[in-house]
Amino acid sequence: MAIKKKRVARELLFGDLWEFDPAPETAPAFIADRYGLFINGEFVAPKSKKWIDSISPRDEKKISEIALAGQADVNAAYAAAARAFPAWSKLPGAERGKYLYRLARLLQDRAREFAVAETIDGGKPIREARDFDVPMAAAHFFYHAGWADKLEYAAPGRDLKALGVVGQVIPWNFPLLMLAWKLAPALALGNTVVLKPAETTSVTALKFAELIRDVGLPKGVVNIVTGAGETGAAVVKHPTAAKIAFTGSTGVGKWIQRELAGTGKRLTLELGGKGANIVFEDAAIDQAVEGIINGIFFNQGHVCCAGSRLLVQESIEVEVLRKLKLRMKSLRTGDPLDKNTDIGAINSKRQWERITELVDAGVSEGAEIYQNDCTLPKKGFYFPPTLLCGVTQSHRVVKEEIFGPVLSVLTFRTPDEAVEKANNTAYGLSAGVWTDKGSKYLAVASQLKAGVVWGNSFNKFDPASPFGGFKESGFGREGGRQGLLEYGELV
Ligand code: NAP
Ligand code: MG
C-alpha cells in the first residue's frame, strides 16, 4: 500500500497523471505589420524595394514584414553614422550616459511588451524572455551608462578615444540581449553604429529603434539595417567601418576574419561553443542535475555557451543519469507563450532540420537516445529534450555544435581525464565544474581552455563580467571593463 502511494505521489509530482491548464501570456506585443530600415533616426523604406516575411516559430504564422537592405541601404546607414560621429564622440560622457540611462529605463517601462514580442518572434519561453532577456538587456544599458562618465577609470593614465563607426552583426538566439551587448559599450565610448540583427529575429531590434527615437538619441548614432547574410556581408565589408563586432557561427566568423585581413579594421568575434559540464563524484548531485538541465535546455539549447557535453565521473554515472531522466520528465515543451513552458520553439525550420540531422547522425553512429515522451504542438518547430548516451569523443554529436536541446553524455575516471576530455574540442567558450571541494574546482578550472568556467552553477551572467572565447570560439571580450576597452583606442 505504502509503495503504491509513493508511486502515485511521484507521478503527480512529475506530470504523468497531472496536466497543467494552459497559462498563456496575453499582454499585447505591439508588433507593426511592416518595419522599414532605421536610418538617420527614422524608419525608411529600403532602396532595394525588397521586403521579407517574418514568421513566428511557435505557429509558423507571419507576424510582420521587414526590409531587405541592399548595398545602397547599407551605404546610407554608414553615411548617417559617419555624419553623427563627430558630435556624438565629442559629447561629454555624462551626456551620453543620460541617453543610455533613458534607454534602460524605457526598456524597463515596456518590459512586458518586449518580452512578449521576443517570444513570438524567436520562440523562447515567455518565462525566459521576461525574467532573463529583457532585464539583462536593460542591465547592460544601465551598466554602460555608468561607465560613460568614468572612462578615465577604465584606462588609468591613458585616454580612451572612440573608434568611429562600428559595424555590428548579431545572431537569433538572444536577439535583444545581443543588441544590448553590442550597442551599450559602443555608445558609452562615443562610437556610432550600424547594426544588423538576424533575419529570423529582427522585430525586437526594430521595436528598440522606436525607443531610440523616443529618447531623442541624436540622428544617425544608431542605424539598424535588416536583411539576410548578404546584408551582413555588406555591413562587414563597408570601408567606413572602423571596427566589426560579430556574434554568430564559427564558419561566418572565419570568413569575416579573412575578409578583414589587411584592412586595419578592429575585429571581435563571439562564435560557437561546445561547453563541457563536469560533474565530480563529490558534487551535490541534485544541484548538479539542476545545473545540467539549465546548462543544456535553457533557451532550447540555442546558447553558444551551453553545457552541451556532460562529463560525469564514472562512479556516479548511473545515479546522475537516473536523476537527470526523472528531472527531464517534468520539463514542459510547447507553446513558448505559455507561462508554464520550459522549452519553447526551435528558432527556425532551418535550425530544426540541423538539429534533427545531427541527432540522426548520432544515432546512426551508435548513440543511445533518450527523449521525453511528450506531445508537441502540430504547427511550429519543436524538438523534445534529448540525451545521447554511449558516445565517444569522435562522434559528430560530441564534436559539433548542435545548438538545440540535445545533451551528449561522456564519462571520466580522474580529474586529469576530465580536463583532457573537456579541452578536446575546437571550441573554448564555457565550462562548468561541480564539486564539493573548492581546491578541486580551482585546480580544474585553471586548466580548462574556456572563456568562462562556472563553479557549481551554469549560465550565470552579469554585465560587469567579461565574456568571450578561446580557439574557434573567437576572440575579444564583451562585458566588464575588458569589453568596454574593445570599443576604444588607447592614446
Ligand atoms: P550565423 O549564420 O553566423 O549568423 C549570425 C549573423 O550573421 C546573422 O545576423 C546572419 O544573418 C549574419 N550573417 C550570415 N552570413 C553572413 C556573412 N557572410 N557576413 C556577415 N554576416 C553574416 O550564425 P547563426 O547560425 O545565425 O547563429 C548561431 C551561431 O552563433 C552559433 O554557432 C552560436 O554558437 C553563435 N553564437 C555565439 C555567441 C557568443 O557570444 N559567442 C552568442 C550567440 C550565438 P542572417 O541571420 O540574416 O542570415
Ligand atoms: Mg521570427
pLDDT confidence of residue 1: 37
Q: Which residues in the chain land under pLDDT 50?
A: 1-8
Instruction: Confirm or reject: Cβ of 419 under 6 Å from ligand 1.
Output: no
Phi-psi region of 478 (alpha: psi -120 to 50; beta: other; left: phi over 0): beta
Minimum CA distance residue for ligand 1 atom 18: 233
Residue 304 bears catalytic tag: yes
Tell which atom from ligand 1 comes closest to the C-alpha of 304.
Answer: 34
| 132 CA distance to ligand 1 middle (Å) | 21
252 lines ligand 1 (CB under 6 A): yes
Sequence-ordered strand ranges (E) for 4-98 = 34-35, 37-39, 42-44, 51-55, 62-67
Determine the distance separating the centroid of ligand 2 and the alpha carbon of 111, expressed in angstroms.
19
Q: Distance (Å, rounded) from C-alpha 373 to C-alpha 385? A: 9
Q: Which ligand is nearest to the CA of 120?
A: 2
Cα 333 versus chain centre, distance: 20
Dist CA 487 CA 74 (whole Å): 21
- By the 10 Å C-beta count (0-12 exposed, 13-18 middle, 19+ buried), 394 is classed as exposed
Taking CA atoms, 400 is separated from 6, 67, 247, 386, in Å, by 42, 33, 18, 16
CB of 304 closer than 6 angstroms to any ligand 1 atom = yes
| CA of 119 relative to ligand 2 center, distance in Å | 9
Q: In whole angstroms, what is the distance from residue 200 CA to residue 52 CA?
A: 10
Ligand 1 centre to CA of 44 (Å) is 25
How far is the C-alpha of 460 from the C-alpha of 452, rounded, in Å? 10
Burial class (CB in 10 A: 0-12, 13-18, 19+), 413: exposed
248 lines ligand 1 (CB under 6 A): yes
Q: Which of 270, 400, 478, 486 is catalytic?
A: 270
CA 369 to CA 33: how far, in whole Å?
Answer: 42
Q: What is the pLDDT of residue 16?
A: 56
| pLDDT score recorded for residue 5 | 44
In angstroms, the CA 390 to CA 387 distance is: 10
What are the CA-CA distances from residue 426 to residues 170, 212, 267, 277 (Å)?
22, 39, 20, 16
- The number of the ligand 1 atom at minimal distance from the alpha carbon of 235 is 20
How confident is the model at residue 10, as a pLDDT? 53
Three-class secondary structure of residue 43 per DSSP: strand
Burial bucket for residue 219 (CB in 10 Å: 0-12, 13-18, 19+): middle
Helix 71-90 vs helix 229-237: angle between axes, to the nearest 10 degrees? 50
Query: What is the number of the ligand 1 atom nearest to the C-alpha of 228?
Result: 47
pLDDT of residue 11: 54
Does the CB atom of residue 96 touch ligand 1 within 6 A? Answer: no
Distance from the CA of 62 to the center of ligand 2, in angstroms? 8
Q: What domains sit in the chain, N to C, each tagged with a CATH number? A: 34-271+471-490 (3.40.605.10), 276-455 (3.40.309.10)
How far is the C-alpha of 418 from the C-alpha of 433, rounded, in Å? 10
Helix (H) or strand (E) holding 430: strand 430-434
- Contact call for residues 387 and 325 (beta carbons, < 8 A): yes
Q: Which residues of 191-216 are buried (b: 16+ CB within 10 A; e: fewer)?
A: bbbbbbbbbbbbbbbbbbbbbbeebe
pLDDT at 378: 95
How are the residues of the chain apportioned to helix, strand and coil, as percentages rounded to the nearest 5?
Answer: 45, 20, 40
Catalytic residue among 199, 304, 401, 486: 304
pLDDT (0 to 100) of residue 379: 97
| Ion ligand 2: residue ranges with CB closer than 5 A | 54, 121, 200
Q: Judge whether 11 counts as a catalytic residue.
A: no
Give yes or no for residue 122 CB within 6 A of ligand 1. no
| Nine cell digits for residue 189 | 565610448
Mutate to test the pocket of ligand 1, among 71, 174, 177, 271 (most ligand atoms within 8 A of CB): 271
Q: How far apart are the first and last CA of the chain?
A: 78
Q: Is 255 in the pocket of ligand 1 (CB under 6 A)?
A: yes
pLDDT at position 19, please?
Answer: 75
Residues linked to residue 52 through DSSP beta bridges, in sequence order? 66
Q: Whose CA is nearest to atom 37 of ligand 1?
A: 271
DSSP output for 294-339: HHHHGGGG--TT---EEEEEGGGHHHHHHHHHHHHHT--BS-TTBT
Enumerate the H helices of 373-445 as residue ranges: 396-399, 415-423, 438-445
Which backbone phi and psi does 178 adopt, to 5 degrees? -65, -35
Whole-angstrom Cα distance, residue 220 to residue 88? 10
Tell which one of 53, 68, 173, 399 to mutate to probe ligand 1, the residue whose CB is within 8 A of the most ligand atoms: 173
How far apart, in whole angstroms, are the C-alpha atoms of residue 269 and residue 195? Answer: 15
| Residue 477 alpha carbon to ligand 1 centre in Å | 17
Q: Is residue 175 within 6 Å of ligand 1 at its C-beta?
A: no
217: cell is 538619441
The pTM for the full model equals: 0.95
- Nearest atom of ligand 1 to the alpha carbon of 236: 20
Which of helix, strand or coil describes residue 243? strand
Task: Output the CA 20–ligand 1 centroid distance in Å.
Answer: 36
* CB distance 167 to ligand 1 below 6 Å: no
Atom of ligand 1 nearest to the CA of 174: 43
